[in-house]
Amino acid sequence: MSLVVFPFKEEDPEVLLRNVKVALDHPRVKEVLCVGASEDHCFRAVSAAIPDLSREYGKPVNVIVQERIGELRPGKGDGMNTALKYFLERTDHERVHFYDADIVSFSEEWITKAEEAADEGYQVVRHYFPRSSTDAMITWFITRTGFALLWPKSVLPWIEQPIGGELLLTREAAGVLFSDHRVRRQSDWGIDTLYTFSMAAHGLSIAEIYIGVGKLHKLYGALTDLKTMLIECFAAVQSLKGEAVAEGTVHHVEYPGPVKQEVKEKIGYDIEGTLWLLRENWTDRQAELLGLFPGKVREGLLASRDYPRFAFMDDGLWAEVYGILLEHFEPGDPDWRELLFKLWITRVLQYTTTVALRGYDYAMYYLHRMVADYVHRSLTSG
C-alpha cells in the first residue's frame, strides 16, 4: 500500500482538495499527506475539510507544516524531505508518491501507471508528459545541459523531466535518498535536481511513465516568475560538479504518445514582457564580470542595456557560458544571480525565436539533439 504526498504553498484549496479525493479513491492508496510551507489560507481550508474526507473514504488524511531540515532557503525541499521523514519514521507503507498540488489534470491514471511500473520491480518511477516547446526552459538549458556536460556517461542526461515533482519511490529508494546528506541540505527549489541526482548516483532503477493528458497547471508570465527557481536549480547542479555518478543504471522510458494541438500551440511564457528584462537591474560590477565570458557574450549583453540582444546565444556558445558559470558563479552574490538570469534569458529568447517558431516537432527534435551533442562534446573534450 502507498502514501500519496502533496507538498503545497499558497495553492487554490479547491484544486488541492480535488486531488486529495482522487488519491483517496484509489485502491492502492492507504493514506494521504499534505505538507504545507506554512499555516496559510490554503492550509487552513484543507485542514478544515480533512475530518469529513477521512470519514467519507475511511482512510487517514493528514495536514502538517514542513519541518526545517535543510541548510539553504526554506522551501520545497524542506516540504519534500519532511514527507520522506514522515513516510520512513511514521508509516509502514511500501511506497510513497509525490504530486504537485496545483495540477488540474490529475487523475487516477497517474497513480495506477506508477504503481504498475513499481510492480515490475523499479525502485523509482518518474512521470513525464508533453510540454510546450517554450515551457521547461530551466529543465533544458540548466538541468539537462548540466547533466550532459558533467556526467555524460550516466543516465542523468537522458531523464526526460529531471526537475519534475511527480514520482514514486519504494521504501528502499526513499531510505537511500533521505540518508544522502546532499539531499537533506537542499531545502529550496533545487530539491528535484538533488532527488534525480541521488537516484542516479546510488544506481537506483528508474522507470519513466508517460502521462499523455499533460500537467496542466498555472502558467508563467515574464521569466521573472522563474528567477528564484532558475538560480537555485543551477546552484544545485554546480554544488554537485565534483561528485561521482554510477554508470549502467537501469532506466526504462515509456514511449510517448501523440501530443495535443493545444500543447503544441501553447506559449510557455510572456515573450514581450521578458525582452525588456535584459535592460534592467544592471550594475558596474555585472559589466565587469562579463569580462570572464567570450567577446560575443560580453558585447551582446552590454548592448542589451540599450536594446535587447539575444541572437548570439546559440547552443554552442551556451555550452561555453555554462562551463564558465560552473567555475565562477556565486549563489549568494546578487550580481552573479542577476547575471545568470540575464544570460539564461538570452538563451531562452534565442531558442524561442530561431527554433521554437519553426514548429513543435522540430523544436523537440532540436532540444533532444542538443542534449546528445552536449554529451558528445563532454566525452570528446575529456
The string of pLDDT tens digits covering residues 93-111 is 999 999 999 998 999 999 9
**Among the three residues 209, 238, 264, which one is the final residue of a domain in this structure?**
264
Domain end among 264, 287, 310:
264
Domain that holds residue 151: 2-264
Average pLDDT over every residue of 201-228: 84
Per-residue DSSP letters for 50-97?
HHHHHHHHTS-EEEEEPP---SSSSSHHHHHHHHHHHHHHH---SEEE
**73 and 206 together in one domain:** yes
* pLDDT at 171 exceeding the cut of 60: yes
Same domain, 249 and 102: yes
73-84 average pLDDT score: 97
pTM of the model: 0.95
Q: Are residues 153 and 101 in the same domain?
A: yes
My answer on whether 137 and 257 are in the same domain is yes
Query: Average pLDDT for residues 242-263, to the nearest whole number?
Result: 92
Last residue of a domain, one of 203, 235, 264: 264
Q: Does residue 291 sit in the same domain as residue 365?
A: yes
Verify that 118 and 217 share a domain, yes or no: yes
**167-170: strand order across its sheet:** 61-65, 29-36, 2-8, 95-98, 167-170, 124-128, 206-210, 251-253
Residue 217 shares a structural domain with residue 165 = yes
Same-domain status, 117 and 241: yes
Helix axes 13-24, 108-119, angle to 10 degrees: 40
User: Is the pLDDT score of 382 beyond 70?
Assistant: no
pLDDT at residue 160 greater than cutoff 60: yes
Instruction: Identify whether residues 320 and 288 lie together within a single domain.
Output: yes
> Residue 257 belongs to a domain with what CATH number?
3.90.550.10
Instruction: Give every CB contact of residue 357 below 8 A, 6+ residues apart in sequence.
Output: none
